[in-house]
Amino acid sequence: QKEVEQDPGPLSVPEGAIVSLNCTYSNSAFQYFMWYRQYSRKGPELLMYTYSSGNKEDGRFTAQVDKSSKYISLFIRDSQPSDSATYLCAIARIKAAGNKLTFGGGTRVLVKP
């Protein structure tokens, strides 16, 4: 079983719709959770990170963590064509050697004008 599972998509939505992305993980030792956005032929860039269960908002983005279910989500409100990218979840244990991240496979999102 993979440590982090993420639906590869692609996920196609009309402009203005809510985009809903999620990941599941298998190890309850993971303590912090991130979402990265990756445009085509670019490096990943951090969107959101959180250490705790619950919701965290940043503009149009909301990250949600449910540690009891080992489930994390990212919601994008009022989606724009510029949100078209691959979204990667990443999780980590703070005290792991080198503080390594474990990535999901990424979900491709296409927002159509």
> Nearest distance from residue 62's CB to other proteins, in Å?
18
| Residues 35-74 as x/- pattern, contact with other proteins by CB under 8 A | ------xxxxxx--x-------------------------
What the block records as the tokens of 84 is 């078209």
The secondary element (H helix, E strand) that includes residue 97 is none
The CA distance from 45 to 15, in Å, is 22
The CA distance from 9 to 92, in Å, is 23
Question: Which residue, 17 or 61, has its beta carbon nearer to other proteins?
Answer: 61
What the block records as the tokens of 94 is 């703070």
Question: Which residue, 16 or 99, has its beta carbon nearer to other proteins?
Answer: 99
74-93: which residues touch other proteins (CB under 8 A)?
Answer: 88
The CA distance from 38 to 47, in Å, is 10
What the block records as the tokens of 51 is 């250490």
Q: How many residues bind other proteins (CB under 8 A)?
A: 23
| Residues at the site binding other proteins, with contacts judged by CB under 8 A | 4, 6, 8, 32, 34, 41-46, 49, 88, 94, 97-101, 103-106
